[in-house]
Amino acid sequence: MLNQDQSSPNPTRITHMTRLASLLFAGAAVLSFTACMSEGSSEESAALAGNLDIDGCVKIEGSAIGQVGVSVTLGTPSVTFESWIAKDGEPNEYVGFTLSTGATFYVKAGNNADDLLEGSGTSWVNPNGTGGSA
């Protein structure tokens, strides 16, 4: 599921990603979702609410964040956001999500670019809860 330099546990050393979702957070709020694929066409990805802009990666951002039904095609598998968890007191900020199918992903939480949290499965919630910062 993940093509990574297996000799290093450092998740920032990702060389190429398959079925990988990388979420960018400010504090605990989702700003963008990026998925990269090793197979499949860019046309497939661009047609599913994303715009291809970085070496085979599809990114959703802005109004697509928080939208149920947004899909990203990662080669053959397609991952759809089935639900989002809003940050307490911030209805347009999100601290978690549920996916239609299992995936392996990294979540960037907080302002430190080196703080990547690994996740896999069909859901993710910020480990600091629904009201705190990353």
Query: What does the domain layout of the chain look like in residue ranges?
Result: 20-124
Residue 126 pLDDT grade (very low, low, confident, very high; cuts 50, 70, 90)? confident
Residue 69 pLDDT grade (very low, low, confident, very high; cuts 50, 70, 90)? very high
Residue 82 pLDDT grade (very low, low, confident, very high; cuts 50, 70, 90)? very high
State pTM to two decimals: 0.60
Rounded-to-integer distance, Cα 10 and Cα 53, Å: 25
pLDDT averaged over every residue in the chain? 62
Phi, psi (rounded to 5 degrees) for 72: -130, 125
82 burial type by CB count under 10 A (0-12 exposed, 13-18 middle, 19+ buried) = middle
Q: What is the mean pLDDT of residues 15-23?
A: 35
Q: CA nearest 96: which of 21, 12, 3?
A: 21
pLDDT at residue number 124: 85
pLDDT at residue number 132: 59
Give the C-alpha distances (Å, rounded to integers) separating 72 from 7, 9, 31, 130: 29, 26, 16, 25
Rounded-to-integer distance, Cα 53 and Cα 36, Å: 10
Is there a contact between 80 and 48 (Cβ–Cβ < 8 Å)? Answer: no
Share of the chain above pLDDT 70, in %: 38
Tell me the H-state helices in the chain.
42-46
**96 versus 104: which is more confidently predicted?**
96
- Per-residue pLDDT at 7 exceeds 50: no
Q: CA nearest 21: which of 61, 66, 57, 75?
A: 57
